[in-house]
Amino acid sequence: LKETFLMMDINEIKNIIPHRYPFLLVDRIIECDFDSRIVGIKNVTADEPFFQGHFPEFPVMPGVLIIEALAQTACILGLKILKLEGQGSVFFTGIDGAKFRKPVVPGDQLRLELKKIKQRKSLFRFEGKAFIENELATECTIQAMMGKN
């Protein structure tokens, strides 16, 4: 039987990954099996710093930041798997098949779902999907290397 938990708040997230405001793009973890799957939440608010310059008349979250939110969620899972939470460096090494299917706007809540599809020591590949409610907004495959500082 796999170990699971249902909630990780922002303070616990900050103990695992080094990102900080304004670049910390995961607000909460709602599901994780510590082995292959994680689900995070990013609440998109009107006062996000990127909205000031990214189409102020029609604010849309930049796609690269949606990918970054997925990558940060993947990092949490990878560091948990390696038992390096709070002490591991993470290097984004690749992205494949990124597709943006729905604009993300203020007031949306992104559900960031990641599944580990391959691991070789500290090199990981994840399938990532970002949803708004039950509608797919973004999908991609992320590759990252994790190691000690």
- 3-11's contacts with Cβ under 8 Å and 24+ in sequence apart are 3/33, 3/34, 4/31, 4/32, 4/33, 4/34, 5/31, 5/32, 6/30, 6/31, 8/32, 8/76
Asked if 121 and 64 touch (Cβ cutoff 8 Å), the reply is no
Find the helix or strand (DSSP H, E) in which 28 lies.
strand 28-32
Residue 19 falls in the annotated catalytic set: no
Catalytic residue (one of 54, 60, 103, 106): 54
Find the helix or strand (DSSP H, E) in which 74 lies.
helix 63-82
Q: So which residues are the catalytic ones?
A: 54
